[in-house]
Amino acid sequence: MPSYTAPLRDMHFVMHEVLNVQEVFKSLPAHQEIDQDTIQQILEQAAKFAKEIVQPLNQIGDKEGCTRHDDGAVTTPVGFKEAYEQYVQAGWPALACSPEYDGQGLPVLLNTVLYEMLNSANQAWTMYPGLSHGAYECLKAHGTPEQKSLYLKKLVSGQWLGTMCLTEPHCGTDLGLLKTKAEAHGDGSYAITGTKIFISSGEHDLGQNIIHLVLARLPDAPTGTKGISLFVVPKYLPNELGDISAQNKNTLSCGSLEDKMGIHGNATCVMNFDGACGTLVGEPHQGLRAMFIMMNAARLGVGMQSVGLTEVAYQNSAAYAKERLQMRSLKGAQAPDKVADPIIVHPDVRRMLLTQRAYAEGARAFAYWVALMIDIEQNHPDPNEREANADLVTLLTPIVKAFITDNAFAATSEGLQVFGGHGYIADWGMEQFVRDSRINMIYEGTNTIQSLDLLGRKVLSDMGAKLKKFGKIIEAFIEKEGVRKEMAEFIDPLAELADKVEKLTKEIGLKAMLNHNEVGAAAVPYLRVLGHLVYAYLFARMARVALDNKKSNDTFYEAKLATARFYFARLLPETASQIRFARAGASSLMSLDAALF
């Protein structure tokens, strides 16, 4: 059975030594009082909850799955409900929610660290509260006063949970094709009719109520995405006081559970809305704009799912490699008192482990950095600071989602490979990490969609303005650190890649003016290149801190430097091939007639 221990030392390193979060928090009125001791206490409690309560349920949930009953009700695997009750009693749902709605008002960054731990422990279970937080954010931003009064405190407390209902059988990413309809009752409410598929946490037994955020069309809606409205549709209709009863069950139900490859402990539902009563969120025909708050939160959340899986897969494969005896080192026996050497002596096993480690540490630094920028965007008193950080979050969100999840699938696969034949056997838990990680590249917008969003909407649409802001951050770092000889091995490749990204972006932009397919042909490799630019910048920052502490005799910094050097030597060179792919153009992809496939 796999195990998990939160990497608290590395978490504190990223927050306090790389990102200097305490100094940042001092500039944010809402978080000025948060100190390192407070952060440490929260993380220690979160680590204990993840390890002792949630992680032991991971394999149980995978093997047992969810059960749909004849009446449409769904029960989660053994232990899931009890673990969620403990989660609620401990106040975890309220961690980063506004005190106005009985939240604790703590930074998004701390919520992000919490979710890394929970996802390492049990991604399927963590999806239930994770989606609820997204529903809270959406209603807080776009809900009516009545909706906020009815729903937000219950979502913050964890008594009620939330979902988002977008996809339909005939449309996935192309939401402009959706057919679910909404008809006015005449009293301010609407009858919602349609079928949604792939709805994570659509029906379950964890909380008292489930609040569905549903995209649908009004009768006078224009075609396409401009005709989509958003509705809040609860499983049980609350009265004016917010009370619910079984007699007020809404006309919606789980038609079936998807039989899927992974995340078996989460109920992925086909949801039928049969004239279900809902209320409009935001303005008519502006639902997609309102839903983007939840969708973007979900994309960042999926990135955190993959940070978690990368870390837990690494921990277990590293432990196995230190114990498993196979053959002798090419240099001669390293454990002469044993019948064979542990496999960690072999260079390619080291490559697999270091790949996992580098992707885990790079992803953690990236995700925490973006979360901190969200805190600045939401709380800084200077509007220019808020805008600058909002632009960076907008640019980096598709990279968080796609780059981290691509790397996680590679990392979990490497972890399985370290185990050899045992990795293919369910008891060790590695094959579950591979299966669970694969969905993260698909849902909340496939990684190709994220790549198109990055290149088309986030880079080319504003003539690279947001990308230039990121470029200035890198440029300032290079100018500051480039004078230090010991930093040359990190600064030189970072500067070289930054220059290549600037040239590549201009080249694709010019090509796209003549043929829009050039964007589609270049988007996926372009995101890989930009993802590596982010990681190269962050690994250079981490290496600088490690070098500053080299004389401390703390082996943590020694390991950090070794990982950074591995990243620059073995993973960053991928950018050379990806740049060539991006430059290859659309002709080799589009010249073959579709009938010949």
Tally of domains within the chain: 3
The mean-pLDDT minimum among 173-177, 329-333, 532-536 falls in 173-177
Taking residues 28-39, what's their average pLDDT?
96
Judged against a pLDDT cut of 90, whether residue 482 lies above it is answered with yes
Are residues 182 and 132 located together in one domain of the fold? no
CATH number at residue 241: 2.40.110.20
Taking residues 500-508, what's their average pLDDT?
98
b/e for 89-113, b at 16 or more Cβ within 10 A? eeebbbbbbeeebebbbbbbbbbbb
The domain boundary residue, chosen from 285, 320, 352 = 285
Q: Which band of pLDDT confidence, cut at 50, 70 and 90, is reported for residue 429?
A: very high
Are residues 98 and 15 located together in one domain of the fold? yes
- Average pLDDT of the chain? 97
Percent of the chain with pLDDT over 90: 95
Are residues 204 and 112 located together in one domain of the fold? no
User: Known catalytic residue: 444?
Assistant: yes
Are residues 251 and 129 located together in one domain of the fold? no
Judged against a pLDDT cut of 90, whether residue 417 lies above it is answered with yes
Judged against a pLDDT cut of 90, whether residue 199 lies above it is answered with yes
* C-alpha to C-alpha distance for 274 and 219, rounded to whole angstroms: 16
Are residues 495 and 454 located together in one domain of the fold? yes
566 within a domain of the structure (yes/no): yes
Helices (DSSP H) in 93-107: which residue ranges?
A: none
* 383-386 own/partner pairs: CB under 8 Å, 24+ apart: none
Catalytic choice (203, 311, 444, 518): 444
Judged against a pLDDT cut of 90, whether residue 174 lies above it is answered with no
Judged against a pLDDT cut of 90, whether residue 400 lies above it is answered with yes
Judged against a pLDDT cut of 90, whether residue 288 lies above it is answered with no
Judged against a pLDDT cut of 90, whether residue 249 lies above it is answered with yes
313 within a domain of the structure (yes/no): no
Task: Residue 27: count other Cβ atoms within 10 Å of its Cβ.
Answer: 14
Print the domain residue range for 200: 162-285
Q: Is the pTM of this model over 0.85?
A: yes
Helices (DSSP H) in 420-516: which residue ranges?
A: 430-439, 447-452, 465-481, 488-514
311 within a domain of the structure (yes/no): no
Q: Which band of pLDDT confidence, cut at 50, 70 and 90, is reported for residue 593?
A: very high
* 490-498 own/partner pairs: CB under 8 Å, 24+ apart: 490/536, 490/539, 490/540, 490/543, 490/544, 490/564, 490/568, 491/540, 493/536, 493/568, 493/572, 494/533, 494/536, 494/537, 494/540, 497/529, 497/532, 497/533, 497/536, 497/572, 497/575, 498/471, 498/474, 498/533
Taking residues 564-577, what's their average pLDDT?
98
Q: Which band of pLDDT confidence, cut at 50, 70 and 90, is reported for residue 78?
A: very high
Residue 268, exposed/middle/buried by CB under 10 A (0-12, 13-18, 19+)? Answer: buried
The domain boundary residue, chosen from 233, 267, 285 = 285
Taking residues 73-91, what's their average pLDDT?
98
Q: What are phi and psi of 385, to 5 degrees?
A: -65, -40
The domain boundary residue, chosen from 285, 317, 346 = 285
CATH number at residue 31: 1.10.540.10
Are residues 171 and 263 located together in one domain of the fold? yes
363 three-state secondary structure: helix
CB 81 within 8 A of CB 60: no
List, in sequence order, every beta strand (DSSP E) within 93-180: 160-165
Are residues 13 and 66 located together in one domain of the fold? yes
511 within a domain of the structure (yes/no): yes
298 within a domain of the structure (yes/no): no
Are residues 564 and 468 located together in one domain of the fold? yes
The reported pLDDT for the residue numbered 290 is 84
Judged against a pLDDT cut of 90, whether residue 410 lies above it is answered with yes
Nearest to 258 by CA among 198, 202, 203: 198
Q: Which band of pLDDT confidence, cut at 50, 70 and 90, is reported for residue 550?
A: confident
246 within a domain of the structure (yes/no): yes
Taking residues 525-548, what's their average pLDDT?
98
Q: Which band of pLDDT confidence, cut at 50, 70 and 90, is reported for residue 179?
A: very high
Q: Which band of pLDDT confidence, cut at 50, 70 and 90, is reported for residue 240?
A: confident
Angle at 357 between CA 419 and CA 371, to 5 degrees: 130
Are residues 197 and 269 located together in one domain of the fold? yes
Are residues 193 and 128 located together in one domain of the fold? no
Q: Please give the single-letter amino acid code of residue 244.
A: I
> What tokens does 472 get?
């200035």
Are residues 80 and 199 located together in one domain of the fold? no
Are residues 464 and 572 located together in one domain of the fold? yes
550 within a domain of the structure (yes/no): yes
The reported pLDDT for the residue numbered 551 is 87
The reported pLDDT for the residue numbered 291 is 84
The reported pLDDT for the residue numbered 293 is 83
Judged against a pLDDT cut of 90, whether residue 297 lies above it is answered with no
Residues with Cβ within 8 Å of 459's Cβ and at least 6 positions away in sequence, in order, are 395, 466, 467, 505
Judged against a pLDDT cut of 90, whether residue 84 lies above it is answered with yes
Taking residues 297-321, what's their average pLDDT?
96
The reported pLDDT for the residue numbered 539 is 98
405 within a domain of the structure (yes/no): no
CB 65 within 8 A of CB 140: no
